[in-house]
Amino acid sequence: MSSTHKIRDRITESRILLNRVTAISMLVVVCIFGLVVRLMYLQIVGHEHYALLAKNNRIKTSSIPPTRGIIYDRQGRILAQNLPSYSLEIIPEQAKDIEDTLHRLQVLLDLTDDVLDEFRKQQKRHKRFESVPLLLSLSDEEVARFAVARPFFPGVDIHAILVRYYPYGILTSHVVGYVGRINEKELKELPEAEYSGVFHIGKVGIELSYETQLHGKAGYTEVETNAQGRSINVLNRVEPIAGENLYLTLDMDLQKTAYDSLEGYNGALVAIEIKTGGVLAFASHPSFDPNPFVNGISSKAYKALQDSEDQPMFNRALRGLYPPGSTVKPFVGLAGLEYNIITNDQHIYCPGYFQLPNVRHRFRDWAKWGHGSTNLTSALTESCDVYFYSLALNLGIDRMHDFLQKFGFGEKTGIDLVGEKEGLFPSQKWKRTAKKVGWAAGDTVITGIGQGFTQASPTQLARATATLANRGKVVTPHLVDKMINAFSTSPGPLQSGKLIPLQEKNLNAVIAGMVNVIHGEKGTAKGLAKGLKYQMAGKTGTAQVYTVKQNEHYNKSIDLKLRDHALFISFAPADDPKIAVAVVVENGGHGGTTAAPMAAKVINQYLTGEKPDATGTPQ
């Protein structure tokens, strides 16, 4: 009994065991299969995704900043260069107590709070193990002072860097512009790879408008990095491509003459090489030294510049808008001829004032007693206002607008600088939309002598003059002649080459009038003719800042700031024009006496090579 019981038990037991081992085997197989499915999902389906993640994990790309291109004038003189300098940089991770470090550095190097605040701002944009500049240009003394104390400043170090320098200082600040520290807003917009490790960016002038070319192309290294961020080894290195060197059309000798001639006044002078459109001189007076801006100008110095009444930071040549005054007369006269409103032989009588039919208001001529009988040539020579009042009325505002627009009035010249103003040459349509009032005949009359709504920048005036001298072939002013890098040379902006259809005899008549302005008996700038070896053509302008009331006379003792702006446009030689110049002198009084001699100095120097004074060297 007990023996069979035992046997049955053993049979049952082995049956149960077999049953349980089978169950466990199945569980094992199912679970392992589950793991295999998951592995296949990760290693086959997800492989690409995870391979990319692994690569991103281990490879960190860091850029190598390129060297910024150098800017030269047309004779190869350096206008902007990179000077080796020493920067003081801090790696926050290594400087244990950053505030304490900053405080001690402030005492050691006599730093202003501005510098520290700027550093704190910069620090926020960098990772803790990245080097953040505190000072970008250390003096020798500062280098020496820090070098001695260096052991007490962990994480602070001196680095050799290149810093932008403008050897001509105030002479070029409105043309070349300057670079400055990259600010928060710029940082957001800039491509990160291109600008990491770069502290400066073009802020104004050529430095801004040619930023891409000057900057060059950043190189990079691909570094294998471990989880702690340490570099293990360099996998790949692509060298940066230095920025392109820019050769400007600017001639520093002319630029200095232009700037110096404006001495004592606020004003601008723009000189253009007619055949190419290359800008020879581009002066805005007064100016400022761009060098302090490179590494961050102190807020005190900046405020002083901003608050100065003469506004040295305002680029008058590019952005200053002035009523062009009588300098529009050659263009209005040419319009009259082209539209067959007048011929050069027709004379009108100038009594010293002009009246619209049935209106009592008198539009006065600058010459109280009038010019008598005048034709176009003499009207230009003597700058007779009445002749152009009458002509403007006969032309009508819209024809005048359309014709002068062809010479670039009221539109940007397309010069390769940022921030150009459009200016304004009014039309009926413009007044209706902008002023919500209809056009009045009186508006037309004063527009004929460049007063009223009309506004133009010195650059626009120079361009219009050059286009006229170029016999209708439109000139687009530009500053960059060519760009040269290690591999190629490329030209600056190209000429549009558009041609305004003009009749030869009409052009000749206007130019004859403009020649007489200088060479004629009654020319408004006849003082210039003395000793000239060539013929110059020009037109003076005197723009009212202050409206003289009816029955009132212009008073010489009027407040300086309310005195007329003096303008002068000219080109030479008259028979084979090479250079066109426009000058605007704020509150300069009469164009012929103040502005014209400035233009003449530049033109003469360009054509004869004689400098007005012996020194033309950089300051």
Partner 1 sequence: MQREHRSEHFYAHSLIGRLFRKLHLDIPLLFFLGLICLLSFVILFSASNQDFGTLERQFARVTLAFGLMTVLAHVTPYQLKRYSVGLYSFGILLLVAVLVMGKISLGAQRWLDLGFFRFQPSEMIKISTPMMLSWYLAEHPFPLNWKQLVTAFVLIFTPTLLIAKQPDLGTAILVASSGCAVLFFAGLSWRFISYAAVTVTALLPLLWSVMHDYQRARVLTFFNPEADPMGRGYHIIQSKIAIGSGGIYGKGWLGSTQAKLDYLPESSTDFIFAVFAEEFGLAGCLGLMTLYLLVIFRCLYITLGANDPYSRLLAGSLSFAFFVYVFVNIGMVIGVLPVVGVPLPLVSYGGTSMVTLLASFGILMSIQTHKKFIP
List the catalytic residues: 326
Q: What is the spatial distance between Cα 173 and Cα 486, in angstroms, rounded to a whole number?
A: 27
Told to check if 234 binds partner 1 by CB under 8 A, we report no
Restricted to residues 24-53, the positions that interact with partner 1 (CB under 8 A) are 24-25, 28, 31-32, 34-36, 38-40, 42-44, 46-47, 49-51, 53
Shortest Å, Cβ 1 to partner 1:
18
**Helix/strand/coil percentages in the chain, nearest 5:** 40, 20, 40
Nearer to partner 1, 231 or 346 (CB): 231
Length of the chain: 619
Q: Which residues contact 237 (CB under 8 A, 6 or more apart)?
A: 64, 219, 220, 221, 222
Contact flag: residue 227 with partner 1 (CB under 8 A) = yes
Q: Which is nearer to partner 1, 36 or 499 (CB)?
A: 36
DSSP assignment string, 274-289: TTT-BEEEEEEES---
Q: How many CB atoms lie within 10 A of CB 341?
A: 18
Tell me: does residue 13 bind partner 1 (CB under 8 A): yes
Q: How far apart are the first and last CA of the chain?
A: 128
CA distance 7 to 511: 136
Residues with Cβ < 8 Å from 2, sequence gap 6 or more?
Answer: none
Q: Tokens 């999902």 appear where?
A: 41
Q: H or E element: which one contains 248?
A: strand 245-248
Give the pairing type, strands 200-204 and 178-181: antiparallel
Q: Give the shortest CB-42-to-partner 1 separation in angstroms.
A: 4
**Nearer CB in complex with partner 1: 52/83:** 52
Q: Alpha-carbon distance 569 to 166, whole Å?
A: 30
In the complex with partner 1, which residue's Cβ is closer, 28 or 187?
28
Give the residue with the Cβ less far from partner 1, 231 or 405: 231
DSSP state of 495: P
Applying CB under 8 A, among 94, 225, 394, 593 the residue interacting with partner 1 is 225
Q: Of 602, 609, 537, which Cα lies nearest the Cα of 576? A: 537
| Least spacing, CB of residue 248 vs partner 1, in Å | 50
Instruction: Please give the single-letter amino acid code of residue 328.
Output: V
b/e for 100-138, b at 16 or more Cβ within 10 A?
ebbeebeeebebeeebbebbeebbeeeeeebbbbbbbbb
Q: Specify the residue, 21 or 234, whose C-beta has the smaller distance to partner 1.
A: 21
Q: How far is the CB of 35 from partner 1 (least distance, A)?
A: 5
In this complex, which beta carbon is closest to partner 1, that of residue 26 or of residue 548? Answer: 26
Dist CA 235 CA 504 (whole Å): 69
Q: Applying CB under 8 A, which of residues 139, 212, 226, 489 lies at the interface with partner 1?
A: 226
Q: Which of residues 474-513 bind partner 1 (CB under 8 A)?
A: none
Residues 60-99 that bind partner 1 (CB under 8 A): none
Stretch that binds partner 1, among 18-26, 65-73, 495-503, 603-611 (CB under 8 A): 18-26
The one among 6, 8, 11, 21 contacting partner 1 by CB under 8 A: 21
Q: Which of 11, 18, 304, 441 binds partner 1 (CB under 8 A)?
A: 18
Q: Based on CB atoms, which residue is closest to partner 1, 54 or 441?
A: 54
With binding defined as CB under 8 A, does residue 11 bind partner 1? Answer: no
- Tell the smallest beta-carbon distance from residue 12 to partner 1 (Å): 9
- Can residue 555 be called a binding residue for partner 1 (CB under 8 A)? no
DSSP 541: E
Choosing from 93, 157, 222, 224, the residue that interacts with partner 1 (CB under 8 A) is 224
Number of amino acids touching partner 1 (CB under 8 A)? 37
- In the complex, the residues that contact partner 1 under the rule CB under 8 A are 9, 13, 16-18, 20-21, 24-25, 28, 31-32, 34-36, 38-40, 42-44, 46-47, 49-51, 53-55, 57-58, 224-228, 232
